[in-house]
Amino acid sequence: MRQVIIGMIIGIIAGIIAGATVIRPHISPQNTASEQTQVNPDVPTLTDAARLPAGESSKIEEPVTSPEPDVIHWRMTSAYSSSLPVLGELPRRIEMSLARVSGNQFRMEFHEPGTLVPPEALFEAVRSGTIQAGFASPALWADKIPALQLFSSIPFGPKAREVLAWFHEGGGREIFQEIYGKQGIHSLLCGVTSAEASGWFRKPVTSVNDLKGMRMRISGLGARIMEKLGVTTEILMNRDIVVAMNSGAIDAAEFSQPATDFALGLHQTANIVYFPGWHQPATLFDLMINEDAWQTLPDSAKAQIETVCGDNIWRGLAAADARQFATLKQFTKLDIEMKTWPPDLLQAFRAAWAQVVREQSAQDKNFKRIWASIRKFREEYGIWRELSAP
């Protein structure tokens, strides 16, 4: 009997050992993580241990997942506030359109003027790589490269359609990118607007004598013309123009089209606005990109930026022309005087422009080269201009 009992005990012990060493490992994966933790939270589970590299039994690694495709993330600062009609919409549209065409794989984040760099420092910030991109008009950099003014606006023409024809098909783009390229910048034409207003004045201007001694905010080649007629000119960014007008620091101001001027509040600083905008029959805007950043992009990303800028050009032109009539009606309600320049003053502006061209061409070989390209194209285009006009 004693031998039977001893045999039974031995059998029970053997069963326990077999269950722990043979059966348990096969059923343990079915246990929950909480059950395993309750037993001994410091011991890796079978599933964890199976992931451990050889020689690293004490380290539990997370499961390896496939990385998402790289997202290009750039910063872009604009010279124009997003609250401005047309001008502020152009850079914001770049941000939104680029995200859409790239499936959110290329994000060019828009920043308001002054949030990353002051607008007047935009050129240097892009050139140095402080930011990858900046949106402005080339005329803002006249103190650095005077010839760029011809890629912003050209007094007395050409208008938007003709200037686009010259830029894309008449050799303008090649010169444009060559000049910027020497500065470490790859720049793309990325917006165009039609004719501007000619400026806001506190008093009527009936002769050249009325201009002498006047202080005026005006940029680009129009400023050089006004200087020939006795005007002291200043380039002020949009945030400073109304302040300068209200304080009396300047007597007149030119900025943009009626809708944009109205949003800026220029109608509250003067009661007379002159037309036509002889100094800017069309205005070009560009997206400056740091050259090194541009070269790192795959061809598909470069094509996406070029496509978005092409879309921005025609959308900007459409908005620029469509938005003005509603503002002109507002001018009428507010008794703002909308005047046209007398013929003798327009002639004086033209004569001063011819003098500016001669002087700038003599001083700057790039200006001379660009002006020769524009003049030759306009002479040839003029035949089609006349034949196609109704």
> In terms of DSSP bridges, do strands 215-217 and 232-234 run parallel, antiparallel, or are they unpaired?
parallel
pLDDT for the residue numbered 238: 86
Q: Are 200 and 338 in contact (CB under 8 A)?
A: no
User: How high is the pLDDT of residue 237?
Assistant: 87
Is the CB of residue 51 less than 8 Å from the CB of residue 63? yes
Say whether pLDDT at 26 is over 50. Answer: no
Range with the poorest average pLDDT among 8-22, 203-217, 268-282, 327-341: 8-22
Q: Which tokens is 216 given? A: 């005026």
Instruction: Assess whether pLDDT exceeds 90 at residue 27.
Output: no
What's the whole-number mean pLDDT along residues 169-186? 98
pLDDT at 19 over 50: no
Q: Where are the domains of the chain?
A: 72-197+279-388
Q: Is residue 379 exposed (0-12), middle (13-18) or buried (19+ Cβ within 10 Å)?
A: exposed
pLDDT for residue 9 is more than 70 = no
Please give the order of strands across the beta sheet that includes 133-136: 106-111, 72-78, 133-136, 283-290, 185-193
Average pLDDT over residues 248-256: 97
Contacts of 61 (CB under 8 A, 6+ apart): 51, 52, 53
What integer pLDDT is reported at residue 68 of this predicted model? 53
Partners of 72 in the β-ladder: 106
Please tell me the pTM assigned to this model. 0.81
Residue 287 in this model has a pLDDT that exceeds 70 = yes
Whether the per-residue pLDDT at 348 is higher than 80: the answer is yes
Topology of domain 72-197+279-388, CATH: D-Maltodextrin-Binding Protein; domain 2 (3.40.190)
3 confidence band (pLDDT: 50, 70, 90): very low
Q: Are 192 and 285 in contact (CB under 8 A)?
A: yes
Has residue 31 got a pLDDT over 60? Answer: no
Q: 305 with 287: CB under 8 angstroms? A: yes
Q: For the segment 158-171, what is each residue's pLDDT rounded down to a tens digit?
A: 999 999 999 999 99
CA dihedral over 295, 301, 303, 305, signed as positive or negative: negative
94/2: higher pLDDT: 94
Asked whether residue 381 carries a pLDDT value surpassing 80, the answer given is: yes
- Gyration radius of the chain's alpha carbons: 34
More reliable by pLDDT, 38 or 235: 235
**What are the DSSP calls for 292-357, one per residue?**
HHHHHS-HHHHHHHHHHHHHHHHHHHHHHHHTHHHHHHHHHHTT-EEEE--HHHHHHHHHHHHHHH
Q: Indicate if the pLDDT at residue 303 is higher than 50.
A: yes
Give the span between the Cα atoms of 329 and 339, in whole angstroms.
15
pLDDT tens per residue across span 80-96? 999 999 999 999 999 99
Percentage of the chain beyond pLDDT 90 is: 81
Phi, psi at 256, each rounded to 5°: -155, -145
Q: Among 279, 273, 246, which residue's Cα sits nearest to residue 261?
A: 273
Strand pairing category for 185-193 and 199-201: unpaired
What confidence category does residue 389 fall into, taking pLDDT thresholds of 50, 70 and 90?
A: confident
Distance from chain centroid for Cα 224: 27
For residue 330, give every residue at least 6 positions away whose Cβ sits within 8 Å of its Cβ, in sequence order, or none: 262
By residue count, the chain amounts to 390
pLDDT at 69: 63
Tokens at 244, concatenated:
């300068």
Average of per-residue pLDDT values in the chain: 86
Q: What is the pLDDT of residue 6?
A: 41
Instruction: State the pLDDT at residue 52.
Output: 34
One-character DSSP codes across 62-101: PPP-PPPPPPEEEEEEESS-TTSTTTTHHHHHHHHHHHHH
- Residue 73 — pLDDT band, cuts 50, 70, 90? very high
